[in-house]
Structure 1
Amino acid sequence: MKCLCGIPCATRTSWTHENPRRKFVACKFFNHETGQRGCNIFYWVDEEQTDWQRDVINVLVAEKHRVATDLSIVKARFTCLEHEKKRLTEELDKIERKL
């Protein structure tokens, strides 16, 4: 389907708090940050979610972000430990050479 701009419409997924994981079709010039919709072609592909569905999806999205943040912290700590290990190994080598 082409929009009024003459280009094929885009099927996208909403990740807003109000409409998480809902599919919609819109003009490719649609910009969710500014609300600009190009030629204003926009419609939902799926049915509206229940409050329960919306809440569950939002909790899962928040949990995904928390886990991703925890993983980043663990990776950073691991990197610090690798640097510390390298520093201590070099220091131990120096001490062993002195002995």
Structure 2
Amino acid sequence: MVAICACGLPVSRRTSWTSENPGWKFVACKFYNHETRQRGCNTFEWIDEDILDWQRDVTNMLVAEKHRLATDNSILKFRIVCETYEKDRTVAELEKIRKKPFK
């Protein structure tokens, strides 16, 4: 049987990625906005049992590492774009020099 929230819609099953409850599963109103934590109605229930402190710490450490790696990846992509632009500009400059007649 599908649970219905106070709005009359089936609840939505989600995962929390806050540092207090990383990886915890919950059900909430489909109109729940995870960024503002606003809900269409007050329907909200945790599905998971409490986790141990070490589990929370490890999960938060892994999430932080994931964000660090994503940032590093973005920086490397930007560097590649810059290097490609610089190479293209250098090639264009060389072509201009080659086309100039010697005096």
TM-score under structure 1 normalisation?
A: 0.89
Q: Identify the match of residue 60 of structure 1 among 56, 59, 62.
A: 62
**Identity among equivalent pairs (%):** 63
Structure 1 gap segments, 5+ residues each: none
Structure 2 gap segments, 5+ residues each: none
Structure with greater strand percent? 1
| In structure 2, distance between residues paired with 1:70 and 1:50 | 30
Of the structure 1 ranges 43-52 and 24-33, higher mean CA displacement relative to structure 2 is found in 24-33
Q: CA RMSD in A?
A: 1.5
1:37-56 Cα deviation digits (max 9, x unpaired):
33312111111111111111
Q: How many residues align?
A: 99
TM-score under structure 2 normalisation?
A: 0.86
What SS does the aligned partner of 2:16 have? strand
| In structure 2, distance between residues paired with 1:8 and 1:69 | 37
Q: Identify the match of residue 83 of structure 1 among 60, 82, 85.
A: 85
